[in-house]
Amino acid sequence: MTRILYSLCGADESRPFSPHCWKVVLALHHKGLDFVERPSPFTKISEIEGGFSRTVPILRDGNELIRDSFTIALYLEDTYPDRPTLFGGEGGRALSRFVERFTQTVVHPAISQFALPDIHDMLGETDQVYFRASREKMMGKSLEEIRADRDAAVGSFAAKLDPVRHTFRYQPYLGGEGPLFADYILFGALQWMRITTGAQVLTHDDPVQAWFERCLDLYNGVGRSVAPA
């Protein structure tokens, strides 16, 4: 059976960077499921699987097509119940949504404040036109203005992760003694930041950085296999 993860790339296909696609990469490894990854530029996503989704990740699993990272994780959990669990039960499934919403409403906007110009520079020419227009509209300022405020945005980032940082006083992963999908949600965001910006945003003695390094090492270092910018 062919299992295909359609993900996102810039001009260099070997450096997929989408936070949402990285969540699925780790979820598939967590479940021990083989797959091939097919990264696509932004402006070619509409050509994938007959225009199935406006966004990636898209997972083809045999005859099934699934979109959206959380929906894919739920699908994997329900379809492969005998493989290691991604949620650790019903409570974990529900609370993973809170981790996702925290990441989406707090962490992603904070990273966007300094990563967007770097992402732009990684893209092919056609994607750059689309990306600049859509992101400048979203942020209400030009990529050049965002770049000018980079140091302030980087400097204010670490504090946003205080709830995570304090959790690691009690346990090595958000999921407890080992990683669960909740960890991959936050990992996706920091991996996106690492691959696109290369910025050393967290100090080496930060418990969040230590956790991120542990996540980079998972599954034969699949996360680490793409070098930082």
Smaller CB distance to a copy of itself: residue 92 or 223?
92
> Is 89 among the residues that bind a copy of itself (CB under 8 A)?
yes
Contact 189/17 with Cβ under 8 angstroms? no
Rounded Cα distance between 109 and 41, Å, is: 22
Site size toward a copy of itself (CB under 8 A) is: 32
Amino acid at position 45, single letter: I
CB of 216 to a copy of itself, least distance (A): 20
Amino acid at position 135, single letter: R
> Is 19 among the residues that bind a copy of itself (CB under 8 A)?
no
Rounded Cα distance between 227 and 229, Å, is: 7
Smaller CB distance to a copy of itself: residue 9 or 215?
215
Residues with Cβ within 8 Å of residue 2, at least 6 apart in sequence: 36, 60, 62
- Candidate residues 20, 60, 93, 120; the one interacting with a copy of itself per rule CB under 8 A: 93
31 closest CA partner among 222, 225, 219: 219
CB of 189 to a copy of itself, least distance (A): 13
> Is 85 among the residues that bind a copy of itself (CB under 8 A)?
yes
**Residue 160 burial (C-beta neighbours within 10 Å; 0-12, 13-18, 19+):** middle
Contact 198/229 with Cβ under 8 angstroms? yes
Helices 69-79 + 90-102 axis angle, to 10: 160
> Is 175 among the residues that bind a copy of itself (CB under 8 A)?
yes
- Candidate residues 41, 124, 176, 228; the one interacting with a copy of itself per rule CB under 8 A: 176
Residues 110-149 that bind a copy of itself (CB under 8 A): none
> Is 91 among the residues that bind a copy of itself (CB under 8 A)?
yes
- Candidate residues 33, 95, 158, 229; the one interacting with a copy of itself per rule CB under 8 A: 95
- Candidate residues 46, 71, 105, 200; the one interacting with a copy of itself per rule CB under 8 A: 105
CB of 120 to a copy of itself, least distance (A): 26
- Candidate residues 65, 74, 106, 139; the one interacting with a copy of itself per rule CB under 8 A: 106
Q: Quickly count: other Cβ atoms within 10 Å of residue 165's Cβ.
A: 17
DSSP element (H, E) containing 192? helix 181-197
Residues that bind a copy of itself (CB under 8 A): 85, 87-99, 101-102, 104-106, 162-164, 166-167, 170-171, 173-176, 180, 182
